[in-house]
Amino acid sequence: MTKPIPGPHPDPHPPSTFTPPPKACDAHCHVFGPADRFPFAPDRAYTPPDSGLEDFQRLQERLGLSRAVFVQASCHGTDNTAMVDALERGRGRYAGVAMIDASFTDDDIARLHQAGVRGTRFNFVAHLGGAPDMESFWSIVPRVADRGWHIVLHFDAVDLPDYATLLDTMPCPYIIDHMARVPVVAGVEQEPFQALLRLMADERCWVKLSGAERLTADGPPPYDDVVPFARALIEAAPDRVLWGTDWPHPNVRHMPDDGDLVDLLTAFAPDEDTRNRILVTNPEKLYDFFG
């Protein structure tokens, strides 16, 4: 039996430190189920409660956001149906990052592209199953790169040096999820984080400022210990950082209030121009929004 996990905060507060600009984008979030319509994968590691599009749209209204990038989560495996349904119902306001494998045909990929998918994701994190089959990885990457997609990579920062050759040979832009899950207790001078900063010198490399509730050593907000890491990444490449809530926050130690995560952006990026870049301009470079 898979592990059930709790649902998101039931009543997140609106942002209190700034008003998100028009077309602000949550660039990392998920839809789970509803399971009676979109069943979870039989081999999933966890079972989330339903957190569907209607729930997400209420959240966006509360937070003052209007666009989103739905990232396929492992609990749905390579069945991207729930995500594609959300994209189609979004009428151009949402984009997607799929999970696919070598069984996907060119027609399958074309249908995902038509729905609004612009990337595919691979997990390398040990506790979520570790690295993918590399033969399959390299059979998929060039096929999606030819469509103008990017690759989303979920790493633990300590493993980045092991994949230096892989990253150096990527034929398209790639995004490092959740600030590479860097252990903040070791400080910004730690070698795993310095390795991430060096990667940001590569024009192909992007990073998501997400997962503060996972990275913090403290648990509850205000997540102050994460701020120096986010600021360093923004300084390194302000035009190649994205931000996301990671709603509905699967497998976290402490369930965050998404309003706190929006407010945290003023600590990450105190000036309005940089926040607008992160929330609007940067996502528009990777995703085709029509609303």
The rounded distance, in Å, linking the Cα atoms of 262 and 288 is 23
Domain membership of residue 103 (yes or no) is: yes
Domain that holds residue 282: 3-286
The rounded distance, in Å, linking the Cα atoms of 85 and 62 is 22
Domain membership of residue 63 (yes or no) is: yes
Domain membership of residue 136 (yes or no) is: yes
Q: What is the pLDDT of residue 1?
A: 52
The rounded distance, in Å, linking the Cα atoms of 21 and 269 is 14
The two three-digit tokens of residue 56, written as one number: 């997400």
CATH number of the domain bearing residue 199: 3.20.20.140
Domain membership of residue 71 (yes or no) is: yes
- Domains identified in the chain, total number: 1
Residue that is written with structure tokens 């965050």 in the block: 256
CA distances (Å), 255 to each of 34, 58, 82, 180, in order? 20, 18, 23, 20
Domain membership of residue 210 (yes or no) is: yes
Q: What is the pLDDT of residue 45?
A: 86
Domain membership of residue 291 (yes or no) is: no
User: Taking a C-beta distance cutoff of 8 angstroms, is the pair 261, 213 a contact?
Assistant: yes
Q: What is the pLDDT of residue 126?
A: 73
Q: What is the pLDDT of residue 258?
A: 98
Active-site amino acid positions: 246
Close Cβ partners of 252 (under 8 Å, ≥ 6 residues apart): 213, 214
Q: What is the pLDDT of residue 29?
A: 98
Close Cβ partners of 167 (under 8 Å, ≥ 6 residues apart): 160, 174, 199, 202, 205
User: Taking a C-beta distance cutoff of 8 angstroms, is the pair 51, 12 a contact?
Assistant: no
User: Taking a C-beta distance cutoff of 8 angstroms, is the pair 196, 207 a contact?
Assistant: yes
Tens of pLDDT along the chain (291 residues) come to: 578 899 999 999 999 999 999 999 999 999 999 999 999 999 898 999 999 999 999 999 999 999 999 999 889 999 999 999 999 999 999 999 999 999 999 999 999 999 999 999 999 987 667 789 999 999 999 999 999 999 999 999 999 999 999 999 999 999 999 999 999 999 999 999 999 999 999 999 999 999 999 999 988 899 999 999 999 999 999 999 999 999 999 999 999 999 999 999 999 999 999 999 999 999 999 999 997
Alpha helices for the chain (secondary structure H): 53-63, 81-90, 106-115, 134-145, 164-168, 191-199, 212-215, 227-236, 258-263, 265-268, 272-276, 282-286
Gyration radius (Cα) of the chain, Å: 18
Tell which residue, 196, 261, 193, has the closest CA to residue 29.
261
Residue that is written with structure tokens 């899950």 in the block: 181
